[in-house]
Amino acid sequence: MQTVPENRKISPFLVFFTVTSIQIGVGALGFQRLIAKTAGYDAWISVIIAGLATNMIMWMMYKLLEMGKKDLSETHKFVFGKWIGSLFNTFFILYFTFFIITILRTYIEIVQVWMFPDFNTFWFTLFFLILCIYIVRGGFRTVTGIAFFGVVFPSYLIVLFGFTIPYSDFKHFLPLLDHSLKELIIASHQMSLTFMGYEVFLIYYPFIKEPNKSKKWAHIGLFSSTALYLYTTLISFAYYSEEQIQKYIWATLSTWKIVHLPVVERFEYVGIANWCLIILPNVCLALWCASRILKQTYKISQRKGVFIIAALSLLIIPLLKTRQQINMINSILGNLGFLINFIYIPFLLILVWLLKKVKLKS
């Protein structure tokens, strides 16, 4: 693998923004209903469990890259050989492409349901992907800059959840621990789509200056995402009754209905428009990762690879029309994310450790 020039690398503290920005996406707008169906109002505990689990997986990612090669693509070839390793790389190219398709189509559905029923899926996807291509062609530092703005600029939305507090009833959380450990674990699994995305770290690791110094920032980023989701969960659960929360597909958006400002009557419109800036780094990071692996595996330049991945996404997204189809791709992506993070990455770490041990003995 070619060494990444220093002028193309990012400072360690910027890992905080790449990790946080990829974890906060469309899943944040409606995860409450899913976890409340399984664990009721004890589901806030599941958010903490899932957040702690992501930190454990991040620790494994660092160990994997420190013991093996410097990114996922090279690690696959090191463990499985050139041909089988290329098959695993191809899977991850498709996975990140599927990530783009799911994020974009879900956001478009929200715009169509809440704002413009006749909103054209194809044209929005086309212009959004053109913007993403422009950003990704600027290099990984440019993508990181977008991740920075995607975290900082919309952060004011957090404060606006406070509008619900005067109308909230925190007695909803009583009695505590009213559900079994099994139900809490299942609810944590259902947070997969919401928390997933940080596996992109395995691809951009070589682009970090002094990776050891980035460890604390990666974990702080994961803890920040967990704190944000926990805050959102507590606010939503206190505001809605358990019967109500299970009926709202996008509980976060419904909460914004209560916000009335002198210049804005329907604040949820502002929130949805601002969410476009939040999903922008989601798509850019996934597009960069998919094209990066394509370059390493099939020797297609990343500039061409970006167009190939974007064109494939543009062809598929308009074909997804119904709520059932969109719900299905969200479920598939959530399950894939869970399998990759909590099963495949630990498995790959064990294989790398065994290979290193065998080579040291021989």
Among residues of the chain, what percentage have pLDDT more than 70? 99
Examine the pLDDT at 1 and tell me if it is beyond 60. no
Confidence of residue 180 (pLDDT cuts 50, 70, 90): confident
pLDDT digits (tens, 9 = 90+) for 288-329: 999 999 999 998 999 999 999 999 999 999 999 998 999 999
Rounded Cα distance, 272 and 107, in Å? 9
* Closest among 159, 243, 233, 146 to 195, alpha carbons compared: 233
Alpha helices in 115-206 (DSSP H): 121-136, 140-152, 156-160, 181-189, 192-195, 201-204
Tens digit of each residue's pLDDT (9 = 90 or more) over 101-146:
999 999 999 999 988 899 999 999 999 999 999 999 999 999 999 9
For residue 192 the two structure tokens come to 């997969």
Give me the pLDDT at residue 35, please.
Answer: 87
pLDDT bin (cut points 50, 70, 90) of residue 41 is: confident
pLDDT of res. 219: 96
Domains of the chain: 6-361 (1.20.1740.10)
Q: Over the stretch 45-76, which tens digit does the pLDDT of each residue have? A: 999 999 999 999 999 999 999 987 889 999 99
pLDDT of residue 68: 75
Higher pLDDT, 212 or 265: 212
Transcribe 223-289 into DSSP letters: HHHHHHHHHHHHHHHHHS-HHHHTT-SSHHHHHGGG--BTTBS-HHHHHHHHHHHHHHHHHHHHHHH
Q: What is the pLDDT of residue 356?
A: 85
First to last CA, the chain: 25
The predicted-structure confidence for 217-269, as pLDDT tens digits, reads as follows: 999 999 999 999 999 998 888 888 877 887 788 888 888 888 777 777 777 88
**What are 261's strand-pairing partners?**
264
Q: Yes or no: say if 18 and 11 are a contact pair by the CB < 8 Å rule.
A: no
